[in-house]
Amino acid sequence: MGNRPEQQEFEFTKAHKRLLLGSVFLMATSAIGPAFLTQTAVFTEQFLASFAFAILISIIIDIGAQINIWRVLVVTGKRGQEVANDVFKGLGTFISALIAIGGLAFNIGNVAGAGLGLNAIFGLDVKWGAALTAIFAILIFTSKRGQKIMDIVTMVLGTLMILIVAFVMVKSNPPYADAAVHTVMPENPGALVLPIITLVGGTVGGYISFAGAHRILDADIKGKFYLPFVNRAAISAILTTGVMRTLLFLAVLGVVATGAVLNPDNPPASVFEHALGPIGKNIFGVVLFAAAMSSVIGSAYTSSTFLKTMHKSLYNRSNLIVIVFIVISTIVFLFIGKPVKLLILAGALNGLILPIVLATVLIASRKKSIVGDYKHPMWMIVFGAIAVLVTVYTGVLSFQSLGDLWSK
């Protein structure tokens, strides 16, 4: 499925459809992790129906970021760090290092989240749950059909999360009309700036933007011929995360609209318990495990696609990189516990990755030496520039937290 003559009209085959779903769910489930669940619950409780506006705006900005990155990478046939090296020598290596550090630290949180999920479902010790999660993830990548299994697992887990949260939403019976009105007429738009920035950073920040695009490149999809495929995949990926965020928002809104107060120690879990009763804790465990497990897969896979280009000896050893990545993440969690300082540092580094790479991609889109005769649409460049500004602000905010970290 490599380069094709540009004059032919693109047609979706069964293989394309499977790859489309695989790349969509890899990106979407990478974004839908434990932090995604908590952020959505906390912001909904704080801003109520007006949070719908923040979700809408963040989706628009996310599409702007994703479609720029996916199109330029597929047109050039190069990964994010390789394009960055073409723009400025050494920049791609720097970005790969940031991805590795940030991805590793966040994967520790993902492994911990999966352990907590299994604890909520079965009462299993959190550390045993984390270890089992790591073993399951490693088995996926050591399989001869690893990438196909990865696609299937992320699709199943993603669909499972959406169906469960949709059920909780129906049970919580949110004020749909009120949410619809506030989607375009929020009560205090200025107060929603920080939530919008947080959502954008959490949905397309760090390694997440490249999860689906790098999956497509690994399937040898490259060149202008595939731009219709890329457009559909990038937009579908963001809309999938948007659907999940909207369903969870409405589920939380239905609970807090009754006057219920969420448990600050675990806001999303208390939503499930309020809506479903005692069994809600177990059902939330399923969602948490699915979110964390899929994020472990996405983080490990995408980080490996960055690390393998740092040296030619690593290029054909993606699975080995993934296994080492997962093992280190799990060992740190098992023997050190929750590495709070490492996670804060990783958050700061993660805040830098998207604006650096997206700005680099926008520069690359204007260089004939990189994209050839491809003409990148101006409206995409404008959208991309807005996303860069938003995520630069995210990076500044995240770095401010480092002052608090080192003062303790």
- Provide the pLDDT for residue 198: 80
Q: Of the given ranges (70-79, 188-197, 347-356), which has the lowest mean pLDDT?
A: 347-356
236-253 confidence digits (pLDDT tens): 999 999 999 999 999 999
165-209 confidence digits (pLDDT tens): 999 999 999 999 999 999 999 998 888 888 888 888 778 777 788
User: For the chain, what percentages of helix, strand and coil (3-state, to nearest 5) are there?
Assistant: 80, 0, 20
d(CA 392, CA 408): 26
Residues 6+ apart with CB under 8 A from 10: 4, 225, 226, 227, 228, 229
d(CA 263, CA 297): 29
pTM beyond 0.85: the answer is: yes
Do residues 117 and 289 touch, judged by C-beta distance below 8 A? yes
Give helix 14-31 / helix 208-218 axis angle, nearest 10°. 160
The number of CA neighbours under 13 Å toward the Cβ of 394 is 28
Q: Report the topology of domain 26-402.
A: Amino acid/polyamine transporter I (1.20.1740)
**337 or 163: whose pLDDT is higher?**
163
- Domain residue spans of the chain: 26-402
For residue 203, report the phi and psi dihedrals to the nearest 5 degrees: -95, -40
DSSP 180-232: HHHHHS-S-GGGGHHHHHHHHHHHHSTTHHHHHHHHHHHTT--SGGGHHHHHH
110-145 confidence digits (pLDDT tens): 898 899 999 999 999 999 999 999 999 999 988 877
